[in-house]
Chains A and B, each alone.
Chain A
Amino acid sequence: MASINELTERIHADSSEEIVAEYLERITNSRLNAFITVSKESALLQAQEIDAKGHDGPLAGIPIAIKDNISTKGIMTTCASKILTGYIPPYDAHVIEKLKNAGAIIIGKTNMDEFAMGSSTETSFYGPTLNAWDMTRVPGGSSGGSAAAVAGGEAPLSLGSDTGGSVRCPASFCGVVGLKPTYGVISRYGLISYANSLEQIGPFASSVRDVATLFDVIAGHDPRDSTSVKREGNYSPALENDVNGLKIGIPEEYFGEGIDRNVEKSVRDAINTLEELGATSMEVKMPHTKYALSAYYIIAMSEASSNLARFDGMRYGLRTEDHDWHTTFSHVRADGFGDEVKRRILLGTYALSAGYLDKYYLKALKIRTLIKQDFERAFKDADVLIAPTMPYPAFKIGEKIDDPISLYLADVETVPINLAGVPSISLPCGFSGSLPIGMQVIGKHFDEAAILRTAYTFEENTDFHKEGS
């Protein structure tokens, strides 16, 4: 898989148009179903323009795939839902503006779980995306299309969004690198909300260095997002091959029941490797981890039930036959949303409704406080935490889709990070048979530098990321 540096050299030697055409060809010939929309014409046009005029941006002429819940002006954006059929945003998300300024070329919009609600990319209205390593398996989710595109060589870079693991999970299942930044570091302006207080846009690439380069481009303050922090992206200099003196915390709760033995072994081996390179490790206690999954789902569903109230078929999207307003509204939504989305809207509505707010929503937010405190305590001693990203490697398509709880349980390792708002990067650290295993390196608020350096050092000293699907 070509890196940004290799591609940049090729663009200078040949042309961006050639590169873009190659990737477009691979997308066309692929069976992965990683894309919902391929923006062939605009991508080629943009590439020609860059070839003609030149561009000194860090991603000049380099194609990138964008998760279909990030608004792209002039390119259909559906959240993989029938309800947004034909919706063409009249504006660009903040990250898209930043990518365009950096010279990147948007080659298409990637498949995902409908409204980012899922961990397998099976709930898409546009059909499931397949895992490049084993096409009978899921690529993870909800940003499955973005991870599969990178793993399948259909895009060198991509963006996803991570509400409860939706970048890290597919990164882990597809054997690529994916970063969930600290809450507030990347503007959410233009990201179609699933659960506002939890989610961040995150970059995918096949190496830590490329993830850092992309992260530098898209991070930074945006006055249009009130939760955006005043920090600019400049993380690439943190990429030193050096973990000497690094203190790694191992949260034992993340290695408990339900973890695949190969996964556990790979992650523990990875920690050993880092120790051999000069890091030290210690156990840390995160006693409230067991409540994280419920708290996460209650908060996410509650916020989602309100976020998705705007899809009424009036200003955009699907419109069914007119009756009176309330009936039409109910029909549009009954027809436009899939089962999992409906389940989450119903449960979120319930959790916020009179008589249940304290029992569910408020209780979940109190647990969120406890989870955040768990991390604060752990980070008093440790510089980074290392844990499996997912409890097991990619599962079979259809294996869990009819059992919501078993599907939710897959997120047990990723959701606490979103509840605490801390950054985490998932990178390949081993294999279970032919399937990649990912580990996550978790950092303190705004300490992306530490997790990038740890991940980079691991990558420089191992070969897992070089294996192709």
Chain B
Amino acid sequence: MIGKKDLEHIGWLARLELSEEDKEKYTPKLNSILDYFGEIDKADTEGVEPLYHVLPMNNVFREDVPTRSLSQEEALSNAPKNQDGFIKAPRMM
């Protein structure tokens, strides 16, 4: 069960600000979903390997050959804030 404190922690981990109202709203729904997920506990997976990639592929590479980059203008074209060619982010602290 996820409590309010857990939800606050997960919200912080996910960088999703949650209002008090959000927390009220989400907690029961998340818990009912997790409750449903609990179904998988019944599956016997003893000795079963996890499947990360559905196709057994290995060793996919590219050669060390330069390809076209975006122009600075293209790179900045979607940035809400930029300055002197840099993308502008808020202060760190």
Contact = CB atoms under 8 A, between A and B. Distances in A.
A1 interface: no
A327 B93 CA distance: 10
Contact of A350 (B10, B75, B89): B10
**Chain A binding site: helix, strand, loop or mixed by DSSP?**
helix
Given A323-B90, A343-B33, A349 B14 contact: yes
Interface in B9-56: 10-11, 13-19, 22, 25-26, 29-30, 32-34, 36-37, 39-43, 45, 48-55
A363 B40 contact: yes
Contacts of B37: 294, 297-298, 360
Nearest to B59: A226
B91 interface: yes
Contacts, number: 168
A259 interface: no
Interface in A296-335: 297-298, 305, 309, 312-319, 322-331, 333-334
Contacts of B11: 330, 346
B45 A330 contact: no
Interface in A350-372: 350, 353, 360, 362-370, 372
A288 B51 CA distance: 15
Given A288-B43, A314-B79, A329 B15 contact: yes
Nearest to A290: B39
A314 B86 CA distance: 11
Contacts of A337: 16
Nearest to A342: B16
A468 interface: no
A324 B49 CA distance: 43
A345 interface: yes
Interface residues of B, number: 53
Contact of B17 (A312, A325, A331): A331
Give the interface size bracket for A toward B. Answer: 35 or more
Nearest to A318: B80
Contact of B55 (A295, A404, A445): A445
B74 to A, nearest CB: 4
Interface in A3-24: none
Contacts of B26: 342-343, 346
Given A88-B77, A366-B48, A346 B92 contact: no
A325 B87 CA distance: 13
Nearest to B81: A319
A325 B92 contact: yes
A318 B81 CA distance: 11
Contacts of A226: 57, 60
B54 to A, nearest CB: 3
A156 to B, nearest CB: 31
A313 B36 CA distance: 34
A298 B51 CA distance: 13
B29 A404 contact: yes
A319 B18 CA distance: 17
Contacts of B80: 313-314, 316-319
Interface in A420-438: 420-421
B19 to A, nearest CB: 8
Contacts of B36: 294, 405, 408
Contacts of B6: 350
A223 interface: yes
A405 B17 contact: no
Contacts of B92: 324-325
29 contacts: A87-B78, A88-B77, A88-B78, A90-B70, A227-B53, A227-B57, A291-B40, A291-B42, A298-B37, A313-B80, A314-B80, A323-B90, A325-B89, A328-B89, A333-B16, A337-B16, A343-B29, A345-B14, A346-B10, A349-B10, A350-B30, A363-B45, A366-B49, A366-B50, A366-B51, A367-B45, A372-B54, A404-B29, A404-B32
Given A226-B60, A325-B91, A342-B26, 15 more contacts: A183-B55, A229-B55, A229-B57, A297-B33, A298-B37, A316-B80, A317-B80, A324-B92, A327-B90, A333-B14, A334-B17, A334-B19, A343-B33, A367-B43, A369-B51
